[in-house]
Structure 1
C-alpha cells in the first residue's frame, strides 16, 4: 500500500509540473503578444498531441490560466485569451520574497518609489499625517517582536504615502502591504526579543530622519533620508544574500 501511495504521489507531482510548464508557455505567449486578447487557445487534443501530456494536465493548466484572468471559456466555442489579459495587475507574492536575494530585489525596486514619496510628503503633509507618523515611531520603539515591528514599520510608510495626497501612492503602498517591509523572519530568524528591539530601533533611527525632514517641509532632505534608509537596508541584507 505504501508503494502504491508513493507512486500516486509521484504521479500527482509530475502532473502538476507538466501543468506548470504549460501555464508558463501560454503566459509567455500572451505577455509577448504572440497570443493577443481574443485569440483562441489550441484544443485540448491539439495540446495533448503537441506536448505529449494528458487531458487532465491540459485541464489543470487551463483552470490555472482562468484563475489568473488570462483565459475565458465559451461554451461550444472553446477557450480564448481574455480581453485585457496582457494588462494583469502587478504581483509580489509572499513566495517570491522568501529569500534574502528576493528581499534585496524588492528593496532596489522600492528605492525610486520611496524617495519620491517622501519628497512629495514633505511638500503636502498635514497635521494628522504627521501625528500618524509619530504614533508609528513610538510603536516601533516599543516593539519587542516581529509582528509588532512589522506593523509599526508598515504604518509609518503608509502615513507617508497618505501625506503625498496622491491616491496612487497610497493604493500601491496598500497593495504591497507588509511586503513593503523587508521580512524580519528572513533576517531575524530565531532571534530573541532584545535582538528584535535593537533592530527595530536601528530602523526607527532612519524613520526619524525621514520624519524630521517631512515635518519641516524640507523635500530634498526627505528624499535623501529615504534613499539613505533603503541603502542601509540593502547593505544590512547583502552579506546574507546567496549572490553578493
Structure 2
C-alpha cells in the first residue's frame, strides 16, 4: 500500500506542459521523459511523438479540461517527468568568457522565471541559479512562458544562495547585483569577461545577505517616470548589456 501511495503521489506531482513550442521542445530534449500526450488531429500534423509515448487524440475542448482555465494549449498537452537536478559545480565547469550567468534571489513567479529562461536562451547565457525552496517548480505555465527554453537552458537549484555565490566567485565570475538603489550603472560595473548577474525578487528586490555577496551593485538607467522594471524585463536588458560588453 505504501508503494502504491508513493507512485500515486509521484504521478500527481508530474507537470503538464501545453502549447506547441513547450511540447515540441520537451519532445526534442533527450533528458526529458514524456509519460503521455494528448493531441488534436490538427496538432498531430506538426508534432509526431515517438511510438513508445501513449497518445490520446481528442478535441480542443477536451484538452482544455486538462489544463488551467483559458490556458492556450494549441491542441497539445504532455504529462512529463521533471528533469534531473544539476549540480552548480557541473554548470561552472562549462563556463566560458562572455557567457553571463543569472542568479535569481527568491524570484517565485513562474511567468517571470519562464520569461527569464527565454531571454537566457536568446543571449546564450550559461544558465540560471535559484534557491530550491524559493523558486517555482517546473510547470505548464513556466514552460509556456519559456517557449522551449526550459529544455535548453541549464537550471541549478541550490540550498544556500550565499554559499553558491561564493562558489561562483571562486570560478572567476564578477558578481553584479542589480538594484535601483545603486549609484553605479550596469554599464560602469561591467568589465570582467565572466559576469554573474544577480536579480532580486519581485517587489522586494535582493536580500541584504545576497547583496553582501556581490562584487558590485548596479542599476539600470531607466527614466524617473517609472520606479522599476519587471524582473524579467530587467534580466533581458542586463543580459543584452553583458553580451554587448563581452
TM-score for both structures, normalised by structure 2 = 0.26
Between Structure 1 and Structure 2, whose CA radius of gyration is higher? 1
Greater strand fraction, Structure 1 or Structure 2: 2
Greater helix fraction, Structure 1 or Structure 2: 1
